[in-house]
Amino acid sequence: MREYLKFYVGGRWVDPAEPTTMTVVNPATEQVCGTVAVGSAADVDRAVSSARGAFAGWSATSVADRVAVLESILAVYQQRAGDLAAALTEEIGAPTALATSNQVGLGAGHLTTAIAVLKEFAFEEGRGATLVVREPIGVCGLITPWNWPMNQIAVKVFPALATGCTMVLKPSEKSPFTGQVFAEILDAAGVPAGVFNLVQGDGPAVGVPLSSHPDVDMVSFTGSTRAGVEIARNAAPSVKRVTQELGGKSPNIVLDDTAFAENVARGVVSMMGNSGQTCSAPSRMLVPHTRMDEAIAVAREATATVTVGDPTGDAAIGPVVSGGQFDRIQALIQKGIDEGATLVAGGTGRPDGLATGYYVRPTVFAHVTNDMTIAREEIFGPVLTILGYADVDDAVAIANDTEYGLAGYVAGADLDAARAVARRLRAGYISINDGFDFACPFGGYKKSGNGREWGEFGFHDYLEIKGILGYDPAS
């Protein structure tokens, strides 16, 4: 049983302003697995004051000094990788293999990328007689989700540190263990006091005072579109910068070619990863009408390979994060059935033999039309919808017919054809044949948010741009 009753503020572990706690439930067992302190506006005030006090010193450090701190974090992060993975398995039900490789591994990948970018980043550049300077924006409020805790903490904290900002992190109340271990890592790595601060709690108690705080210069949020709208409202009176990575309903266009069956199978397995709890998941698979029957057969076979079970074992996927999430997914699966989609695999209820835990049957619907609820709403569970298209123009039109624009996928043997389709998709992150790159900009169009994370692009939202005219009159 974990017990985390202190926050990390000003380089020390401190008691909360009020002795309020919350329990954390292990989604695999439905049993309480820990107790965590819950913050308040007073705790946010103290953490923001600490970050503000540390800003002058940290923002004036050299690139070499910040590189040294990030490299120290990397060393401790690697030592504590097993502790992070164990926390992830316990709090969100991520299978051990996934927690170790992808969940914790993504955090390490973003850290090494940030170090490499920082060593070469141009904080100043001359443009004729003008000097353009990129300066740290100030105190940052970082609000992260539960589904990929280490990835989302990494893509906010590391660029903020690299650019000379100070910060207050509020992890999701559903995944507080990871944030607590991460704070221990930064403390052990020697991050100067006040540069990084951690306050646990939920949105109303901590997220609202953090996003509305007048001494916070920038808020970076990852989560639902609904919550993102509220954060933007909270931040508006102080005219602070707000960057957001929000919901998605990402298309996966499978082209009509010799790799069709392979690409359908790969798309099914990709969708089910992390129990479907990925904002950029390829949740709408588009296949030619003429190959729908083949797609159904392949998808049914591929879904059968996705084992569900105890996340401490060798199952491919574990439970979804909570009872509330389980109920919502069940309701949307039933909605798909009620609206006339063809149920190919899975369905409502738990998988056989799993009476306890928030386990969802890997589910595939076919003959889905883009006006159905399961094609419009982000389900955030292991549920794939397969839609038919007449030709490539039709596929692109269907893919873009969504209020979201976070990600898109194109799968095909003809790379030129796949490239042409990728250029037409209205989304911020497009993967051709499962391409991946830590240096790629990640972020959304439309209601999927604004701003970009990852690599060099992740630095820019934490920087102000200053132009100094007449700096070099001889130019």
Query: Domain check: are 181 and 63 in the same one?
Result: yes
Q: What is the CATH number of the domain that holds 40?
A: 3.40.605.10
- Confirm whether 179 is domain-assigned: yes
Query: Domain check: are 150 and 170 in the same one?
Result: yes
Query: Domain check: are 204 and 260 in the same one?
Result: no
How many domains does the chain divide into?
2
pLDDT-derived band at 474 (thresholds 50, 70, 90) equals confident
- Confirm whether 475 is domain-assigned: no
Share of residues in the chain with pLDDT > 70 (%): 100
- Confirm whether 310 is domain-assigned: yes
pLDDT-derived band at 298 (thresholds 50, 70, 90) equals very high
Domain region containing 420: 251-438
**Displacement of CA 398 from its chain's centroid (Å):** 25
Is the pTM higher than 0.85? yes
Alpha-helical (H) ranges within 320-403 are 323-338, 373-376, 392-400
pLDDT-derived band at 10 (thresholds 50, 70, 90) equals very high
- Confirm whether 324 is domain-assigned: yes
Helix (H, G, I), strand (E, B) or coil at 159: helix
Burial of 182 (0-12, 13-18, 19+ CB in 10 A): buried
Query: Domain check: are 394 and 257 in the same one?
Result: yes
Distances (CA, A) of 334 to 349, 358, 363: 10, 17, 11
pLDDT value of position 229: 96
- Confirm whether 51 is domain-assigned: yes
Q: Within the chain, what is the greatest distance between any pair of CA atoms? A: 78
Query: Domain check: are 300 and 227 in the same one?
Result: no
The mean of the pLDDT values for the chain is 98
Q: Are 91 and 28 in contact (CB under 8 A)?
A: no
**Angle between helix 63-79 and 81-92 (nearest 10):** 70
Mean pLDDT of 362-367: 98
Q: In this structure, are strands 383-389 and 363-368 parallel, antiparallel, or unpaired?
A: parallel
Distances (CA, A) of 411 to 101, 262, 267, 298: 24, 10, 9, 15
pLDDT value of position 353: 96
Q: Is 245 a catalytic residue?
A: yes
pLDDT-derived band at 263 (thresholds 50, 70, 90) equals very high
The dihedral of CA 306, 309, 315, 318: what is its sign?
positive
Q: Are 449 and 406 in contact (CB under 8 A)?
A: yes
- Confirm whether 317 is domain-assigned: yes
Mean pLDDT of 328-345: 98
Q: What is the pLDDT of residues 381-432, one digit of tens each?
A: 999 999 999 999 999 999 999 999 999 999 999 999 999 999 999 999 999 9
Query: Domain check: are 225 and 143 in the same one?
Result: yes
Q: Which pair of structure tokens corresponds to residue 27?
A: 């989604």
Catalytic residue, candidates 279, 378, 453, 456: 279
- Amino acid letter for position 236: A
- Confirm whether 433 is domain-assigned: yes
Query: Domain check: are 324 and 237 in the same one?
Result: no
The dihedral of CA 369, 370, 373, 377: what is its sign?
positive
Q: What is the pLDDT of residues 78-130, one digit of tens each?
A: 999 999 999 999 999 999 999 999 999 999 999 999 999 999 999 999 999 99
Catalytic residue, candidates 91, 173, 184, 245: 245
- Confirm whether 303 is domain-assigned: yes
pLDDT at residue 475 greater than cutoff 90? no
Q: What is the pLDDT of residues 134-166, one digit of tens each?
A: 999 999 999 999 999 999 999 999 999 999 999
Query: Domain check: are 109 and 241 in the same one?
Result: yes
Q: What is the pLDDT of residues 198-244, one digit of tens each?
A: 999 999 999 999 999 999 999 999 999 999 999 999 999 999 999 99
Query: Domain check: are 172 and 234 in the same one?
Result: yes
pLDDT value of position 176: 98
Segment (H or E) for 407: strand 407-411
Mean pLDDT of 290-298: 98
Query: Domain check: are 217 and 282 in the same one?
Result: no
E-assigned strands of 159-240?
A: 166-170, 196-198, 218-222
Q: Is 165 a catalytic residue?
A: no
Q: What is the CATH number of the domain that holds 430?
A: 3.40.309.10
Q: What is the pLDDT of residues 22-73, one digit of tens each?
A: 999 999 999 999 999 999 999 999 999 999 999 999 999 999 999 999 999 9
Q: Are 245 and 453 in contact (CB under 8 A)?
A: yes
Query: Domain check: are 183 and 106 in the same one?
Result: yes
Query: Domain check: are 76 and 152 in the same one?
Result: yes
Mean pLDDT of 306-321: 97
